[in-house]
Amino acid sequence: MTHHPLLVHTRAQLADALARLSSTKALVMTMGALHAGHLELVREARRLADHVIVTIFVNPTQFAPGEDYDAYPRTLDADMDALESVGADLVWAPAPQDVYPTPATVSIDPGPIARVLEGKTRPTHFSGVALVCSKVANLVRPDVALYGQKDAQQLAVLRTVFAQLDIPVRIHAVPIVRARDGVALSSRNQYLSDDERVRARALSRALLRGVAAAEAGADAARIVEACRAVIDEEGGIELDYIAVVDAGSFEILAGTDGVPVDGGGGAPTLLPDGSRDGRILIAARVGTTRLIDNMEAPLGAVSPTTGAGVASRVASQHTGEDA
Catalytic residue check, 3: no
Cβ 211 vs Cβ 280: under 8 Å: yes
Can you tell me the distance from the alpha carbon of 149 to that of 173, in angstroms, rounded to the nearest whole number? 6
Distance, in Å, from the CA atom of 155 to the CA atom of 22, rounded to the nearest integer, reads 28
Residues near 35 by Cβ (< 8 Å), separated by ≥ 6? Answer: 177, 185, 186, 187, 189
141 annotated as ligand-binding? no
| 62 known ligand binder | yes
Q: Is 177 annotated as a binding residue?
A: yes
Q: Are 119 and 125 in contact (CB under 8 A)?
A: yes
DSSP track, 221-271: HHHHHHHHHHHHHH-SEEEEEEEEEETTT--EEEESTT--S----S---B-
Establish whether 20 is an annotated binding residue. Answer: no
How far is residue 41's CA from residue 173's CA, in Å, rounded to a whole number?
Answer: 9
Question: Roughly what angle, to the nearest 10 degrees, separates helices 194-215 and 220-234?
Answer: 160
317 marked ligand binding residue: no
Residue 265, marked binder: no
Please tell me whether 33 is known to bind a ligand: yes
Task: Estimate the crossing angle of helix 11-19 against helix 125-140, to 10 degrees.
Answer: 50
- Three-class DSSP category at 3: coil
Q: Is 34 marked within a binding site? A: yes
Length of the chain: 323
d(CA 195, CA 287) in angstroms, rounded, equals 9
31 is in an annotated binding site: yes
Confirm whether residue 188 is marked as ligand binding. Answer: yes
Residue type, 144: V
What residues have CB less than 8 Å from 319, skipping those under 6 apart? none
**36 marked ligand binding residue:** yes
Is residue 154 part of an annotated ligand binding site? yes
Q: Among 256, 211, 203, which residue's Cα sits nearest to residue 233? A: 203
Q: Does 23 appear as a known binding residue?
A: no
Q: Which of 3, 4, 9, 38 is catalytic?
A: 38
Encoded amino acid at 220, one letter: A
- Please name every residue paired with 244 in a beta bridge, in sequence order, or none if there are none: 254, 280
Report whether 274 belongs to an annotated binding site: no
Q: Is 97 annotated as a binding residue?
A: no
Query: Does 9 appear as a known binding residue?
Result: no
User: What residues are annotated to the active site?
Assistant: 38
Residue list, annotated binding site for (R)-pantoate: 62, 154
Binding-site sequence positions for ATP: 31-38, 148-151, 177, 185-188
Pick out the residues of the known binding site for beta-alanine.
62
Annotated binding residues: 31-38, 62, 148-151, 154, 177, 185-188
